């Protein structure tokens, strides 16, 4: 798990002011392979590079779902940047930043660069390296290359090149090195989630350092409801890594934002909650976890709680001489959970087996809310103990008659 104290330099850099236009020549890039020499000695020349790829060497097109919210300005800039990369490839110079790129927000620039990267990785094995070189040599583009390529797509490209490794060895090696150099591979389920997570974490860091609430990042707002919940869960896990006296100042900026709260429900594991509850310094955090229903469901804890409430309901019914309804904690369980609570409750009435056992046994098993869950709740060992007592014949008969003896 990533520790919240780890600083993601790339994420912080994405929030910095835009630098002036930068371009970098291929000749100055230590890991670059000049396009004209990409495949020297491999039956390939720059002119040949525009030919259709042989069967099995063309890559599948990547989906562009992240552009579904794009404005006309973003779409135009994406088209312009890709045109610049293509011109650079055809005329053997680095891609030049289109004017339409400069007026975009940081998030929009990432969208545009991501779109161009996807198009590069749709190219065939003969041309992919040349397009990659021309696009990534641009300094404005380079700032947004980090986390633009899925692990699946990276591995797919490598496998395509490996099919003809005698031809593509140098191309593959250099391409993979530069993917690593620019930290292009992301690990989240989708590119959208990766960006939203990084932006949200950067915003939390800045909020902590500047002692303010967060501003919900645009990249988070663009997610689907399901993906927002996933990113919120990742963020909560990160905030509580570790749980210490400083946790509150990381926790507060997120939960203070009302629009975040629906995505925070059931995100705190039981073990994490226990560690928080064990620190007096985190009393406020504990109270907010409860108030915003952030605790994850813990089946064992729920069963234990329901069993205790069932037993308390039985005690109260004896005192009040009333037939109680099932406790809410019991009624909300799954069928399997109810059966387990019934088993534990029956065992409670039979522990120990003594002169009071009959009284408490029937006080439980006659309750309407639990009757249908009594089957197979008495172990053979406990049944034998009842039978040996010599004075609990009615209990023994009830166990057999109601099918309570476990097979």
CA-wise closest residue to 387 among 377, 376, 395 = 395
Q: Spell out the residues 6+ positions from residue 48 whose beta carbon is closer than 8 angstroms to its own.
A: 126
Q: What is the pLDDT of residue 186?
A: 86
- Contact between residue 184 and residue 87 where contact means Cβ atoms under 8 Å apart: no
Q: What is the pLDDT of residue 43?
A: 28
Return the ∠ at Cα 195 (arms to 193 and 201), rounded to 5°.
100
Q: What is the pLDDT of residue 59?
A: 40
pLDDT in tens, 147-169: 898 888 888 888 888 888 888 88
How far is it, in rounded angstroms, from Cα 97 to Cα 117? 15
Dump the DSSP string for 324-361: PPPPHHHHTS-HHHHHHHHHHHHHHHTSS-STTHHHHH
Angle between helices 191-210 and 247-255 (to 10 degrees): 120
pLDDT in tens, 75-119: 899 999 999 999 999 999 999 999 999 999 888 999 899 999 999
How far is it, in rounded angstroms, from Cα 207 to Cα 323? 55
- Contact between residue 311 and residue 345 where contact means Cβ atoms under 8 Å apart: yes
Q: Which of the residues in the chain have pLDDT under 50?
A: 7-65, 67-69
How far is it, in rounded angstroms, from Cα 192 to Cα 147? 10
56 in helix, strand or coil?
Answer: coil
How far is it, in rounded angstroms, from Cα 406 to Cα 381? 10
How far is it, in rounded angstroms, from Cα 333 to Cα 356? 30
- Contact between residue 240 and residue 267 where contact means Cβ atoms under 8 Å apart: no
């Amino acid at each position: 798990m990533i520790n919240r104290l780890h600083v993601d330099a790339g994420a912080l850099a994405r929030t910095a002011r835009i630098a002036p236009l930068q371009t970098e020549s291929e000749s100055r890039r230590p890991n670059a392979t000049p396009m004209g020499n990409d495949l020297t000695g491999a039956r390939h020349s720059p002119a040949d590079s525009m030919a259709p790829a042989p069967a099995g060497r063309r890559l599948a097109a990547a989906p562009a779902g992240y552009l579904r919210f794009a404005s006309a300005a973003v779409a135009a800039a994406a088209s312009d940047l890709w045109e610049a990369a293509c011109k650079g490839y055809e005329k053997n110079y680095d891609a030049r930043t289109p004017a339409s790129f400069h007026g975009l927000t940081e998030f929009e620039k990432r969208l545009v660069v991501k779109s161009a990267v996807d198009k590069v990785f749709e190219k065939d094995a003969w041309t992919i390296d040349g397009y990659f070189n021309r696009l990534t040599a641009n300094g404005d583009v380079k700032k947004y290359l980090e986390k633009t390529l899925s692990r699946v797509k990276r591995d797919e490209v490598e496998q395509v090149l490996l099919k003809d490794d005698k031809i593509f060895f140098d191309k593959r090696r250099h391409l993979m090195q530069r993917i690593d150099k620019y930290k292009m591979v992301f690990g989240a389920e989708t590119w959208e989630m990766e960006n939203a997570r990084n932006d949200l974490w950067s915003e939390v860091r800045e909020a902590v350092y500047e002692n303010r609430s967060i501003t919900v990042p645009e990249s988070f707002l663009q997610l689907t409801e399901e993906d927002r919940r996933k990113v919120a869960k990742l963020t909560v896990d990160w905030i509580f890594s570790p749980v210490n006296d400083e946790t509150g100042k990381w926790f507060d900026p997120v939960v203070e934002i009302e629009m975040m709260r629906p995505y925070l429900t059931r995100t705190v594991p039981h073990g994490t909650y226990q560690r928080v509850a064990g620190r007096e310094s985190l009393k406020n955090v504990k109270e907010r976890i409860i108030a915003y229903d952030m605790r994850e469901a813990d089946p064992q804890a729920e069963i234990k709680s329901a069993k205790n409430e069932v037993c308390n309901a039985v005690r109260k019914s004896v005192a009040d001489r009333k037939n109680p309804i099932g406790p809410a904690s019991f009624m909300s369980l799954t069928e399997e959970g109810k059966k387990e609570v019934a088993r534990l409750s029956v065992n409670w009435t039979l522990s120990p087996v003594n002169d009071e056992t009959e009284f408490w046994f029937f006080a439980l098993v006659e309750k309407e809310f639990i009757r249908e869950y009594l089957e197979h709740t008495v172990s053979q060992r406990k049944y034998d103990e009842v039978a040996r007592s010599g004075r609990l014949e009615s209990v023994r008969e009830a166990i057999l008659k109601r099918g309570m003896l476990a097979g």
